Amino acid sequence: MTNRACIIAVGNEVVHGFIVNTNSAWLARELGELGFDVAYHLSVNDRESELVRRIKAALDEGLFVVTTGGIGPTMDDRTRQGAATALGVELKLDHDALAKLQERYAAMGRKFPEGSERQCMRPEGSKHIQNSFGTASCFLARHGTGGIAALPGVPRELKGIWAEELRAAIIEEFGLHERYFSREVRVFGIPESELNNRMQQVLETPTAEGAILVDDAVIRLRWRVLARDQAGADEALQPLIDAAKNELGDL
């Protein structure tokens, strides 16, 4: 069974267009590398009720939800509570995470800011994910066939946490053994509509996911397949590449 995922970017600043959301595109590629089929990306405002509704709907579909943003120390950071409510559990203070955060402030010779303990709360039963790149701790929780992981919205922190701990934790939690591999053919000098008609049978093959991607004068035919390794992927993809080249010739 293919694991399905979605990405939810949280924050009024994202929804209102003041911040360009590059995190979702990056995470979609990373999740694909782990073998997840990403169903959709979503941007949600800071209203807790809206966040709960969106997360719960995704969890009810069996999706693995990755949220970005809304886990800081301020009153409008509501992702933690929203996730706990959607999961149907209590939001608990992680005392170990709090102690480590207090130690970090002490080592810097700084006073621990009032309210910063909010950054150390996580849904009951979730796994703590360390943030070595900022102050907001993260978490990972399973729910049925899916679950949820919460990351900060700052790209540098998000990518660092993913590489340092979260990626490996997801692989272990979901028992992942396959990932997506892709191959492309670049085409010049043929309209997209004609290409679609000529390549429809090859693109709609049941052995791989095919797509036509248009970028200025270059059109790319891309196939994607879930496999354990490159050899297994090539076994499925090479016949499609050969069929495309035979049909299109030197285009």
What DSSP string describes 136-191?
A: --EEEEEETTEEEEEE-S-HHHHHHHIIIIIHHHHHHHHT---EEEEEEEEE-SS-
Q: What is the pLDDT of residue 215?
A: 80
What are the chain's domains? 4-174 (3.40.980.10), 179-248 (3.30.70.2860)
Residue 249 has pLDDT above 80, yes or no: no
Across the range 163-189, mean pLDDT stands at 92
Helices 79-87/48-60 angle, 10° precision: 40
Judged against a pLDDT cut of 70, whether residue 250 lies above it is answered with no
Proportion of the chain above pLDDT 90, given as a percent: 77
User: For 187-213, what is the mean pLDDT?
Assistant: 87
pLDDT at 235 over 90: yes
The yes-or-no verdict on residue 179 having pLDDT over 70 is yes
Residue 147, amino acid: G
> How many CB atoms lie under 10 A from the CB of residue 250?
6
pLDDT band at 189 (very low <50, low <70, confident <90, very high): confident
Bigger pLDDT: 21 vs 199: 21
- pTM of the full structure: 0.84
Write out pLDDT tens, residues 203-234: 888 889 899 998 877 889 999 999 989 999 99
pLDDT tens-digit series, residues 6-49: 999 999 999 999 999 999 999 999 999 999 999 999 999 999 99
pLDDT of residue 169: 97
Query: What would the mean pLDDT of 113-122 be, rounded to a whole number?
Result: 94
Look at residue 190 in the predicted model and tell me its pLDDT: 84
* Identity of residue 74: T
Q: What is the mean pLDDT of residues 187-202?
A: 86
- As a dihedral over the C-alpha atoms of residue 230, residue 217, residue 41, residue 232, rounded to 10 degrees, the angle is -10
pLDDT tier at 107, thresholds 50, 70, 90: very high
b/e code 67-84 from CB counts within 10 Å (16+ = b): bbbbbbeeeebbbbbbbb
pLDDT band at 174 (very low <50, low <70, confident <90, very high): very high
How many CB atoms are located within 10 Å of the residue 204 CB? 10
What integer pLDDT is reported at residue 251 of this predicted model? 53
- What is the pLDDT, as a whole number, of residue 204? 87
Lowest mean per-residue pLDDT among 62-71, 130-139, 216-225 = 216-225
- Whether 11 and 153 have beta carbons less than 8 Å apart is answered as yes
What is the mean predicted confidence (pLDDT) over 160-175? 96
Average predicted confidence (pLDDT) for the chain: 93
Residue 171: predicted pLDDT: 95
